[in-house]
Amino acid sequence: MSKPDENKEEPALKGTFASVMLLGAFIVVTWIGVFALFMARN
């Protein structure tokens, strides 16, 4: 007998993945921007 999980279909997370990565990219870009400004003014 298999676990009930294994019979379930994987949820489609492609769209979620794309939006998480877009948000992550936004955070990285703004962080680098602020950091570069800070270093330039130092």
Partner 1 sequence: MHLHRLEKIWLKFGISMLAVFLIVLGIMAFSMGMKPPSEHHHTVDPTKVAEMAPFDNPGLNQIGKNHYEAVMTAYAFGFEPAEPMQVPVGSKVDFIVTTSDVVHGFAIVGTNVNMMIVPGEISHISHTFDKPGEYLILCNEYCGTGHEYMATTIVVQ
Place of tokens 């279909």: 9
Per CB under 8 A, does 24 bind partner 1? yes
By the rule CB under 8 A, 31 interacts with partner 1: yes
Structure tokens at 27: 């955070």
Alpha helices (H) along 1-42: 4-7, 14-41
Candidates 22, 28, 34, 36: give the one binding partner 1 (CB under 8 A): 28
Q: Residues interacting with partner 1, by CB under 8 A?
A: 5, 10-11, 13-14, 16-17, 20-21, 24, 27-28, 31, 35, 38, 41-42
